[in-house]
Amino acid sequence: MENRKIGQNIKPVFYAKKYIVPAVLIIFTLVFCQKTFSDSISVTPNLLFIDVQGSGTATVKILNDQKSPLSNIPVAARSNKESVVTVAPGIGLTNSNGQISFTIAGISNGTATITFNTNTLSKSLPVSVVSNIAPCAIADSSGGGVDEFGPEMMNDGVEKKDCSYHWIRTRKEVGQKKSGWIRLDWDEDVTVTRMIIQTTDCNESCGNDPDDTLYIDSGRNVGNGIVQYLDEDEITWITDGEFIEEIGDVEYSFTKPITTKAIRIKKIAPSTQCNGQQSNPVVFEWKVYGTPSCN
């Protein structure tokens, strides 16, 4: 019998491991790398405030899945409360920039929603129609005119042309100055967006005869003030902003729609750019635009 050494003529055998990449992983990678986007619709602005009997503009923009503008796309517009706001045109086509503009008209004080539709897309725009709600409030001040010149003259609906006004004391005695303020309080929460303070022009008076009881010396305008509103705790006053060195009627827009029960303007002073008395500024009418309307 032939003898063999252990291990003689025995060839080693190697086994190769097979690595299988799951098909799911490949599909996932392809989908991830080739992600697509659908057509989109946007509306500017995203919230609109307009005055009663006033109007505003909303612009609709349509983009395709590559974020390029789509032209000649029909867009229909509809108001859910035509007694509050109307919209025109009722339907139109986007231009080469993928845009179409609509005119929103305020009919009565309140809120409504404008809905814009294409065949496959839809977008809504909240609209608030505001009016002068100052007559609903109780007016007050740091002191000054009384009786026919009292604080209630600021929100009685009688405007500048009629020379009906309240004056705010900003001087204790000759040479002494004090900070004046005016304030409006409502019985319930209101939302305010902007305001107008009718005051004297920089260097002109109301009336021509100095002996007339309604005559106002020049230099008595409301040129400076800090605008505040009452917080929901009904204790804390929050500063929204200020106006500085105004030389005529003050037009002020709040930084955002403010919901409150009271607003005030403190540290009232005439503009130093104006000649004349430079004390005891005059308010003919203080208009505050917001909702709800005065009933």
Residues 70 and 116 grouped into a single domain: yes
Asked whether residue 22 is assigned to any structural domain, the reply reads: no
242 and 227 Cβ atoms separated by less than 8 Å: yes
- Summarize pLDDT for 174-218 with one digit per residue, the tens: 656 677 999 999 999 999 999 999 999 876 667 667 777 777 888
Q: Tell me the CA distances in angstroms from 236 to 143, 229, 231, 263, 290, one per residue in order.
A: 22, 9, 5, 11, 21
Q: How far apart are CA 41 and CA 98, in angstroms?
A: 10
Q: For the chain, what percent of residues have pLDDT higher than 90?
A: 70
Length, in residues, of the chain: 295
What pLDDT is recorded for position 29? 43
Q: Same domain for 193 and 222?
A: yes
What range does the domain containing 170 cover? 134-291
225 in any annotated domain: yes
Using the 3D structure, point to which of 77, 107, 131 is the last residue of a domain: 131
The CATH number that applies at residue 107 is: 2.60.40.10
Same-domain check for residues 58 and 163: no
Residues 6 or more apart in contact with residue 154 via CB below 8 angstroms: 134, 139, 141, 165, 166, 182, 283, 284, 285, 286
**Could you tell me where the beta strands, DSSP code E, fall in the chain?**
40-44, 48-51, 55-63, 74-79, 85-88, 91-93, 99-106, 110-117, 122-132, 138-141, 166-167, 180-198, 224-230, 237-243, 250-269, 282-283, 285-291
Do 257 and 211 lie in one domain? The reply is yes
Mean pLDDT computed over every residue of the chain? 87
Domain CATH code at residue 198: 2.60.120.260
| Last residue in a domain, options 131, 151, 170 | 131
Task: With respect to residue 66, please indicate whether it lies within any of the assigned structural domains.
Answer: yes
Do 152 and 101 lie in a common domain? no
Flag whether 33 is in a domain.
Answer: no
**Each residue of 31-69: pLDDT tens digit?**
444 445 589 999 999 999 999 999 999 999 999 999 999
How many Å apart are CA 251 and CA 243, to the nearest integer? Answer: 9
Does 210 share its domain with 287?
yes
Q: 205-263 pLDDT, tens per residue? A: 676 677 777 778 888 999 999 999 999 999 999 999 999 999 989 999 999 999 999 99
Domain total in the chain: 2
3-state secondary structure of 192: strand
190 within a domain of the structure (yes/no) = yes
Distance CA 234, CA 229 (A): 10
Cβ contacts of residue 80 below 8 Å, gap of 6+? 112, 113, 114, 115
Three-state secondary structure call for residue 11 = coil
Same domain assignment for residues 233 and 250: yes
Q: Are residues 175 and 248 in the same domain?
A: yes
| pLDDT given for residue 175 in this prediction | 58
Residues 54 and 142 in one domain: no
- Indicate whether 238 and 270 sit together in one domain: yes
Q: Kindly state whether residue 74 falls inside one of the protein's structural domains.
A: yes
The contacts of residue 284 (CB under 8 Å, 6+ apart) are 153, 154, 158, 159, 160, 162, 163, 164, 165, 198, 199, 206
Q: d(Cα 94, Cα 100) in Å, to the nearest integer?
A: 5
Question: Same domain for 237 and 280?
Answer: yes
Q: What is the pLDDT of residue 10?
A: 47
